[in-house]
Amino acid sequence: MIKKAEPFWLDKPLKELNSKEWESICDGCAKCCTLKLEDMDDGNIYDTNVVCRFLDIERCQCGCYQERSINVPDCITLTNENLASINFMPPSCSYRLLLAGKPLPKWHHLICGDYEQIHAEGKSVQGKVISETEADDLEYHLTGEIIN
Out of 9, 27, 117, 141, name the contact with ligand SF4 by CB under 6 A: 27
Per-residue CA distances from 41 to 37, 47, 74 (Å): 12, 16, 21
Residues within window 49-88 making contact with ligand SF4, judged by CB under 6 A: 52, 54-55, 62, 64, 68, 71-72, 75, 78
Judged by CB under 6 A, the stretch of 4-12, 29-37, 129-137, 139-147 that binds ligand SF4 is: 29-37
Residue 34, judged by CB atoms within 10 A of its CB (0-12, 13-18, 19+), counts as buried
Cα 135–127–59 angle (5° rounding)? 100
In single-letter form, the type of residue at position 146 comes to I
Judged by CB under 6 A, the stretch of 6-14, 27-35, 36-44, 128-136 that binds ligand SF4 is: 27-35
In single-letter form, the type of residue at position 31 comes to K
Q: Is 98 in the site for ligand SF4 (CB under 6 A)?
A: no
Is residue 61 within 8 Å of 28, Cβ to Cβ?
A: yes
* Total of chain residues touching ligand SF4, rule CB under 6 A: 23
Q: Is 89 in the site for ligand SF4 (CB under 6 A)?
A: yes
* Three-state DSSP string of 56-67: ECCCCEECCHHH
Pick the closer one to ligand SF4 by CB: 83 or 142.
Answer: 83
Residues within window 115-144 making contact with ligand SF4, judged by CB under 6 A: none
Residues that bind ligand SF4 (CB under 6 A): 26-33, 52, 54-55, 62, 64, 68, 71-72, 75, 78, 89-90, 93-95
